[in-house]
A and B are shown apart, each in its own frame.
Chain A
Amino acid sequence: MSASLEKGISVLKEMIDAPTASFFASCVHCGLCAEACLFYTETGDPKYTPIHKLEPLRRVYEQEYTLLGRVGKMLGLSKALTDDELEAWSELVYDSCTMCGRCSLVCPVGNDIVYMVRKLREGMAVSGHAPEGLRGATKRTIEIGSPMGVKWPAVQRVIQVQEGETGLKIPVDQQGAEIMVLLSSMEIMNYPEYIGALAKIFHKTGISWTLSSKATEATNAGIQIGASDLAREIVARIVTAAESLGVKKVLSPECGHAYMAIRWEGPNLMGRPFKFEVVHVLELLDELRRAGKLKVKDKFKTPVTLHDPCQIVRRGGVLEAPEPLLEQVVSEYRPMTDHGKWNWCCGGGGGTSAIHEPDAEQLRFKAFQIKKRQIEETGVDTMVTFCANCRIVIEEAFDHYGMNTKLLGLTELLAQHLED
């Protein structure tokens, strides 16, 4: 057994807790989780059944934590995990799982399958079986500060451009501001108008805010790959910056996995609650809307539908904010059949979009077909969403399928129609 495999198995042993054991003990192989997974529904291949993706973790559970399993292991009736098996599972644990958590919503015995996928990834990463693309993204986040390799001077340039476009000052390292704003690299590189949109909204509502030159990046490839030590280092940058600036709130960008990382995993990675509150940008905007501070001058006339990013809505609990905010700014909103916590993933969450191997990309496009059908059923040609990663993935899929659907970011849409 290689040293890395041994380490991987020992990490998996550490990962197994009472919920995991209870979940494995409860599975009756009914296969209903497959019906909730876009990688199964769109391919029809049973290997993509969510509970099956957990087989390496289940085997460790059985061999190490059950009486019969331990007896079986002693008698040589069960085989220990091998590197080859874990390598074969990489496709199932990363390429074909976006950690969207839809399976966890349907299991009749109540298994939280994505909770266990997150754990299995820890063992996969440490034993060296995470995909190359995700390893690179994690390495760049640790070494450079962003999964896309964006450095602070690049952020500064974007700030300057947005200051020019909005005529507003974008504060940096402002001690004692109320809110510290985090960004995702995708926004900095592809949707910088998000920053301008925030500047407009904060100016309009009189909220003091700041960016930190020490911590702008909110996404956390360490979590996606399953390396808690690295994930902690990435979160710690934000915590240190926010606490030294003395802000009351840290604003998570639209990006879904960033929200999961800072809001829900962050305190657990740090081993303590934060001294500040973590708020998703839509939660803040909805609060402003309810207070009557988010008035629009006119409405967006084209009918739209909405894509709910998994980590913000189903997994993150920002359930009520998106639809009222959208309805505030559009004349006609047509929900998809499955929306809110029942939405279907874009196919690129959980670090999957960082895997650039051709097979993984083709699989992603295939999995997107469910979203494509649901968009087409609404009969609209414009979709709004609120996650930069979903946007990139969906735009690539639109190109792939030659769809003419336009994709808009909710925060920017609101900012464009904000009362002057």
Chain B
Amino acid sequence: MNEMQFLAWVRGPGLDISVGILVLGVIWRLFEIYSLGRKADLAQARSRSGASGWHTLYRRSLPAPGLLARSPISYVGGYIFHIGLAIVVFLFAPHIKLASLVGLSWPGLPSPVIDGVTVITLATMLVMLFDRINKPVKRYLSTFEDYFTWALTFLPVLTGYLAVKHLLLPYTTMLAVHILSVELLLIALPFTKLFHAVTVFGSRWYNGQINGRRGVPV
């Protein structure tokens, strides 16, 4: 397989397979989790403004009092790399072009801005990896999956940057590697902790709703 064949494969069958696994996986996991249902709470609810699932959905995006100082890298790093990822994924012109395949389009950001955001995102992810190894609690909790999913998230950003900058490997090969790394990420998403990207909404909502019935804005 030469580099063109490699690129053709990742753009064709590779993409089909990974998107297929992603879609089926997400549907399966959502079913697996939320079909478990739960018992109705029979205690008479107390209502208080600010105490609901919807409030918690938003509120948990902000640091809890005192915690920013106790784990600054988790928060600051977490914001930067999540926002950075979103910018790079959704506002890079070639990515938007992909969306045009399904008839969608939106304005992107200029390449130098995307370059800057990419470098910041990569640097932040390295700092977060360091924090995971350095901070006793994180190190204690970490399993193979934590490092594996870190790598699966880091690689697409790194290879994308290298491809754009024509570094390390010929462009075609690097682009193919980039797409392949994205495909691995898509395949892993439903079955690893990366699935928090989906369940975070359900979890926050449940917590807010469960405690909201008691009148506690959590």
Residue on B nearest A273 in the bound complex, by CB: B42
Q: How many angstroms from the CA of A316 to the CA of B51 in the assembled complex? A: 13
Which chain A residues (35-84) contact chain B, with CB distance < 8 Å? Answer: 35-36, 40, 44, 46-47, 49, 51-52, 65-68
Q: How many angstroms from the CA of A44 to the CA of B135 in the assembled complex? A: 11
Return the contact of A317 from the options B33, B48, B196, B200 (Cβ within 8 A): B48
Q: How many angstroms from the CA of A105 to the CA of B208 in the assembled complex? A: 9
How many whole Å from A345's CB to the nearest CB in chain B? Answer: 15
**A46, B65: Cβ atoms under 8 Å?**
no
Residues on the B chain within 8 Å of A327, using CB: none
Residue on B nearest A70 in the bound complex, by CB: B32
A104-B207 contact, Cβ under 8 Å, with A18-B37, A319-B48? yes
Asked if B162 is at the interface (CB within 8 A of a chain A CB), the reply is no
How many whole Å from B199's CB to the nearest CB in chain A? Answer: 4
**B140, A49: Cβ atoms under 8 Å?**
yes
Asked if B67 is at the interface (CB within 8 A of a chain A CB), the reply is yes
**A317, B214: Cβ atoms under 8 Å?**
yes
Asked if A400 is at the interface (CB within 8 A of a chain B CB), the reply is no
Asked if A161 is at the interface (CB within 8 A of a chain B CB), the reply is no
**A34, B137: Cβ atoms under 8 Å?**
yes
Query: B62-100, CB under 8 A of A: which get 1 and which 0?
Result: 001111001100100010000000000000000000000
**B43, A22: Cβ atoms under 8 Å?**
no
Q: How many angstroms from the CA of A35 to the CA of B69 in the assembled complex? A: 10
**B43, A264: Cβ atoms under 8 Å?**
yes
A110-B29 contact, Cβ under 8 Å, with A17-B39, A338-B66? no
Asked if B102 is at the interface (CB within 8 A of a chain A CB), the reply is no
Q: How many angstroms from the CA of A107 to the CA of B60 in the assembled complex? A: 7
How many whole Å from B192's CB to the nearest CB in chain A? Answer: 9
**B39, A25: Cβ atoms under 8 Å?**
no
Residues on the B chain within 8 Å of A364, using CB: none
How many whole Å from A193's CB to the nearest CB in chain B? Answer: 29
Q: How many angstroms from the CA of A277 to the CA of B46 in the assembled complex? A: 12
Asked if B158 is at the interface (CB within 8 A of a chain A CB), the reply is no
Which chain A residues (218-242) contact chain B, with CB distance < 8 Å? Answer: none
Residues on the B chain within 8 Å of A19, using CB: 38, 203, 206-207, 210
Asked if B6 is at the interface (CB within 8 A of a chain A CB), the reply is no
Residues on the A chain within 8 Å of B32, using CB: 21, 65-67
**A36, B64: Cβ atoms under 8 Å?**
yes
Return the contact of A271 from the options B42, B136, B199 (Cβ within 8 A): B42
**A35, B71: Cβ atoms under 8 Å?**
yes
**A35, B70: Cβ atoms under 8 Å?**
yes
A46-B140 contact, Cβ under 8 Å, with A109-B60, A109-B203? yes
Of the four ranges (under 10, 10 to 19, 20 to 34, 35 or more), the interface on chain A belongs to 35 or more
Residues on the A chain within 8 Å of B117, using CB: none
**A21, B33: Cβ atoms under 8 Å?**
yes
How many whole Å from A235's CB to the nearest CB in chain B? Answer: 11
Asked if B218 is at the interface (CB within 8 A of a chain A CB), the reply is yes
Residues on the B chain within 8 Å of A273, using CB: 42-44
Q: How many angstroms from the CA of A267 to the CA of B213 in the assembled complex? A: 14
**B41, A26: Cβ atoms under 8 Å?**
no
The winner among A34, A108, A266, A341 for most chain B CB atoms within 10 A is A108
Query: A3-32, CB under 8 A of B: which get 1 and which 0?
Result: 000000000000011111111011111111
Return the contact of A315 from the options B64, B65, B216 (Cβ within 8 A): B216
Residues on the A chain within 8 Å of B115, using CB: none
Asked if A115 is at the interface (CB within 8 A of a chain B CB), the reply is yes
Return the contact of A106 from the options B64, B143, B217 (Cβ within 8 A): B64
Residues on the B chain within 8 Å of A111, using CB: 203, 207
Residue on A nearest B204 in the bound complex, by CB: A110
How many whole Å from A236's CB to the nearest CB in chain B? Answer: 14
How many whole Å from A409's CB to the nearest CB in chain B? Answer: 23
How many whole Å from B152's CB to the nearest CB in chain A? Answer: 13
Residues on the A chain within 8 Å of B191, using CB: 67-68
**B38, A110: Cβ atoms under 8 Å?**
no
Residues on the A chain within 8 Å of B46, using CB: 317
Residues on the B chain within 8 Å of A20, using CB: 36
Return the contact of B216 from the options A34, A49, A319 (Cβ within 8 A): A319
Residues on the B chain within 8 Å of A373, using CB: none
Return the contact of B67 from the options A106, A267, A314 (Cβ within 8 A): A106
The winner among A16, A25, A44 for most chain B CB atoms within 10 A is A25
Asked if B211 is at the interface (CB within 8 A of a chain A CB), the reply is yes
How many whole Å from B80's CB to the nearest CB in chain A? Answer: 14
A30-B43 contact, Cβ under 8 Å, with A110-B208, A111-B203, A319-B48? no
**A30, B140: Cβ atoms under 8 Å?**
no
Query: B10-27, CB under 8 A of A: which get 1 and which 0?
Result: 000000000000000000
Asked if B148 is at the interface (CB within 8 A of a chain A CB), the reply is no
Asked if A257 is at the interface (CB within 8 A of a chain B CB), the reply is no
**A29, B141: Cβ atoms under 8 Å?**
yes
**A32, B48: Cβ atoms under 8 Å?**
no
How many whole Å from B37's CB to the nearest CB in chain A? Answer: 5
**B199, A25: Cβ atoms under 8 Å?**
yes
A105-B141 contact, Cβ under 8 Å, with A31-B74, A277-B44? no
Q: What would be 27 A-B contacts, judged by CB atoms less than 8 Å apart?
A: A17-B38, A21-B32, A22-B33, A22-B202, A25-B193, A25-B195, A28-B196, A29-B193, A30-B71, A30-B138, A31-B74, A32-B67, A36-B67, A44-B136, A49-B140, A68-B191, A104-B207, A109-B204, A110-B56, A110-B208, A112-B207, A112-B218, A115-B207, A267-B44, A268-B43, A316-B216, A342-B65
Question: Which residues of B pack against A, CB within 8 Å?
Answer: 28-29, 32-39, 41-44, 46, 48, 51, 56-57, 60-61, 64-67, 70-71, 74, 78, 132, 135-143, 146, 191, 193, 195-196, 199-200, 202-208, 210-211, 214-218
Question: Which residues of A pack against B, CB within 8 Å?
Answer: 16-23, 25-32, 34-36, 40, 44, 46-47, 49, 51-52, 65-68, 104-112, 115, 263-268, 270-274, 277, 314-317, 319, 337-338, 341-342
